[in-house]
A = this chain, B = another copy of it.
Amino acid sequence: MSEPLTALWSARSIAVIGASNSASALGRLPVEFLQRYGYKGTIVPVRPDGADVLGIRSVRNLADAEEPVDLAMILLSADRVPGAVDDCVAAGVPVVIVCSSGFAETGTTGAVAQAELVERARRGGTRLVGPNCIGSVGVTNRQVTSFSPLFSGDRTELVDGPLGFVSQSGALGYGAVSLAYERGLGLGWVVNTGNEADVNAFEVMNALATEPGCEGLLAYVESLDDLDGLRAVASSGLPVAVLKAGRSEAGARAAASHTGALAAGDRVADAALRQLGIARAADVEELLDIGETFAQPRRPAGPRVAVVTTSGGSGILAADAIEQHGLELARLSEETVAVLDEIVPAFGSTANPVDVTATVMSRPDLFDRALSALVDDDGVDIVLACFCVLTGKDVDDVVTGLDGAARRSGKPVLVARTGADHLAPTASRRLRAAGIPAYPTPARAVRAAAALHQVSTRREVDNTAIDSPGPTTATMNPGVPPPAHGAGESELKALLQDAGLAVPTGQLVTSGEDARGAVGHVGGRAVLKAVVPGLTHKTEAGGVLLDIDADTAPEAFEQLASLGGQVLVEELVPPGVEALVGVTASPLGPVLTLGPGGILTELVDDVALRLLPVTTEDVEEMVDQTRLGKLLRGLRGAAPADRAALVESVVRLAAVVESWPAGFSLDLNPVTVLPEGEGVRILDAAYIAPEDA
């Protein structure tokens, strides 16, 4: 096999190391499940006594296997795992799933043992999944290489479908699988990656992305620190949704204690997923709800939703959810409204949400006409049909109408059905067969539609080009080196100036008379600042004196010099809009931060984040995503500020820092944005070198 990880779902022969006949042993279960679910390949139980396992002949050693083994599962106590891994390497097994626990999840000793395990495997070119995991499933191959109790269930069936699901958590992962299968949502591929000592979730997802028939990816992850893996998944072209746990501080701490994964700052995770066009789910139910939309073939061209309902109440709830999730209630064309006017009775509504009333529902031809008008409207990207109590006799007409509308238009059609399933027991199955995702409430349908819209309209991820405005490219100098260790404000500003960024005119002075002269040089009115290493909150410490003239300069100098450092005299920059521009390290690499600066930074906590590199378009989006957009347009009669200059400066800064060694933190706050045409000035700058971070 060119991609060894495909053995996790398409193995032709599987060794079960630690296979057992004992009813209570985990080592029995994969053999039992492979048989029960009809695995067609070869099962090779491995056990020291060579006894049959559930009627299958075992081998004493892996080396005795008669044919090459694609995949080995190890279900032994932790102390016996290293030897088993060596055996797999010796036998040339490409992939081994180590189910055993007792490794990094138990503490330092376990972590060391785990690292050794990986080394043993890698030495022989064997890929290792786990340890501390529950295995994988490939539905087409009827391969259940897992010991999850899910597969013991009397009524459990594998449900095929075009989605791959990867989970770092075993118990929660298979819990989610059981919920998916119960609702009929097919997950054709399931992999639990456990401790991820070698293979991580994103690598598995990338392998799945090349699998024929796989049309969408879902994942549960606790750590998000493999940027390359994440980018590769994002650029696979498949829709992807991730449930990233550890949003809250408490959750992140719990995640750290759980699998030893350090949680990336959640905001960075959020920004990265959004930037890469990956939908983020907040819980298992939402993840599966989104999966329902990936499993149907139609993709929306935009955010405009037409709601058709038989209950005014459902329509209102749908409208509420559409606003909440950033979609739009479609404006229907005059033609559409004219058609609806003929169909909908007076006590309904022909405005979107369209309340066709129960009367229309009792006339399938009318419902079809209404639906056709909506789905054919060029202003509609998504149709949501809301029903309440749906009974068995309604189902045929409803499904036929929805199916036809979806097929003809190629637009996604979703259903919210706020009523008991048993009233129309065939409805779920029939809607699913027609590729119409169905949800119990309008809110859940809309939330899933919003995720589908997000992943369907993502921009191509451009990893290289920095699309800077033309005129400034010539003067851009991305070759500026990082600041020296311990660089102060004035060195930092000089460096930023070298990079073509605007800082106030200024100079360091060493006496009161120098200060007086310098004030003259910068225009007669100045700001004096104490430059003291380690003094980060200058204003609070009385280290900044505003509006100093030549007369007051000497006294101001003495006051600041008494703080124990140098004194910087800078031109007095007139008031403008204050921005915060920062670059900080994260497990996913450097992150650009942009938002309102100065006092507002603390007050509104309103920043946009993007992984570097960024384009001009990214930075424009960041401005609009925060209150900076509003501030720059000019509040309360203020003149518009020089947004273009701010965007250009930020793009420039992002380009400059790209060559700097990872791990630094740079904070420009405030950056004053002057009125249009007058540019920006970086009033304060702070840098923390990687070694001090």
Contacts and interface: CB of A to CB of B under 8 A. Distances in A.
Interface of A: 101-102, 105-107, 110, 132, 148-150, 152-156, 167-176, 178-179, 181-182, 220, 222, 245-251, 253-255, 257-259, 282-285, 310-317, 319-324, 329, 346-347, 349, 351, 353, 355, 358, 387-389, 391, 418-423, 440-444, 537, 539-541, 596, 599-600, 602-604, 627, 630-631, 635-637
Contacts of A255: 312, 316
B422 A155 contact: yes
A30 to B, nearest CB: 16
**Can you tell how many copies of this chain the complex includes?**
2
Contacts of A102: 347
A268 B419 CA distance: 30
A171 B358 contact: yes
A317 B245 contact: yes
Nearest to A151: B389
19 contacts: A169-B312, A171-B389, A174-B388, A175-B388, A178-B419, A181-B420, A222-B316, A245-B317, A247-B320, A247-B324, A248-B322, A248-B323, A250-B322, A253-B351, A258-B316, A258-B355, A284-B317, A599-B636, A604-B627
Contacts of A153: 391, 420, 422-423
A248 B253 CA distance: 36
B150 A419 contact: yes
A255 B358 CA distance: 18
Contacts of A245: 313, 316-317, 320
A422 B540 CA distance: 62
- 4 interchain residue pairs of minimum CB distance: A175-B388, A169-B313, A258-B312, A172-B313
Nearest to A170: B311
A123 B178 CA distance: 60
Nearest to A183: B420
Contacts of A149: 389, 391, 423
A105 B347 contact: yes
A636 B540 contact: yes
A29 B284 CA distance: 40
A348 to B, nearest CB: 9
A404 to B, nearest CB: 24
Contact of A171 (B155, B353, B388): B388
Nearest to A312: B258
A646 to B, nearest CB: 17
Nearest to A176: B418
Contacts of A174: 388-389, 419
Nearest to A394: B149
Contacts of A257: 312, 349, 351, 355
Give the one of A110, A181, A440 with max B CB within 10 A. Answer: A440
Nearest to A182: B420
Nearest to A541: B637
A202 to B, nearest CB: 17
A423 B355 CA distance: 40
Contact of A324 (B173, B178, B248, B423): B248
A248 to B, nearest CB: 3
Contacts of A636: 537, 539-540, 599, 602
B418 A172 contact: yes
A178 to B, nearest CB: 4
A125 to B, nearest CB: 29
A254 B182 contact: no
Contact of A627 (B171, B347, B387, B603): B603
